[in-house]
Amino acid sequence: MADKALVVLSGGQDSTTCLYWALARFGGGSVEAVTFDYGQRHRVELQCAAHVAGQAGVPQTVLPIDTFGALGGNALTDRDIAVPGFDANEGGLPSTFVPGRNLVFLTFAAALAWQKGIAHLVTGVAQTDYSGYPDCRRETMDALQRTLCLGMEASFVIHTPLMQLTKQQTVELARDLGAIPAMALTHTCYKGVRPPCGECAACVLRAKGFDAAGIPDPLLCA
């Protein structure tokens, strides 16, 4: 497998930063993106992901996953469940937790990478500032990397460039990678509205990061 990378691109701030990280690390002709259409409530992300990939000149594959919707029971795919505010995740997992979501995303990404002869998988999960999602931790990613390598007889490496970064540091990384303009194309709000609701956990975290870095969010300046 050559030194090519497949980035899990949701169309959000973090995965967009990862796309530019991969372009800097692996080079322009060696990066592809995969986006999952899993019935997410914030479906505007799908358009954002296509715009981000297009502007970066990166081939993008969109894969459907209808299983999470059939499983139900979470606020990201089930419209009957309210999206919690920022403080709602005290004590237990938040209602936006889709069990196994990142595990499934990376397993399907690995399946696509296997077909394409790509060894490097890149994901924007972070355990700093994370919203209580156990599938965002490096320990989980290490176990998953081993599982994918064994299960597909391959030498996958899961890169998590944002894992130890605060939201401020992620914004600063995006600045260093020249990715701030692309942030105007991204979407973060859990409620899927534009302009962003400004109240959900994702919006609050994003605003804090840009504020702390002292960089205006181009999404809000648009």
| Contact in structure between 75 and 95 (CB atoms under 8 Å) | yes
Angle between helices 138-152 and 101-116 (to 10 degrees): 40
> What is the nearest approach in angstroms of its own copies to the Cβ of residue 205?
21
- Is 90 a binder of its own copies (CB under 8 A)? no
- The 58-77 contact track toward its own copies, x by CB under 8 A, reads -----xxxxx--xx-x----
From the list 1, 44, 50, 103, which residue makes contact with its own copies (rule: CB under 8 A)? 103
Residue 114 binding its own copies, by CB under 8 A: yes
Identify the CA nearest to 108 among candidates 159, 71, 74, 61: 61
Site string (151-190) toward its own copies, x via CB under 8 A: xxx-------------------------------------
**In terms of CB distance, is 105 or 210 closer to its own copies?**
105
Give 67 or 164: the residue with its C-beta nearer to its own copies: 67
Class of residue 62 by CB neighbours under 10 A (exposed 0-12, middle 13-18, buried 19+)? middle
3-class state of residue 30 by DSSP: helix
Closer residue to its own copies, CB minimum distance, 132 or 218: 132
Please tell me whether residue 158 adopts helix, strand or coil conformation.
strand
E strands along 72-152, which residues?
118-122
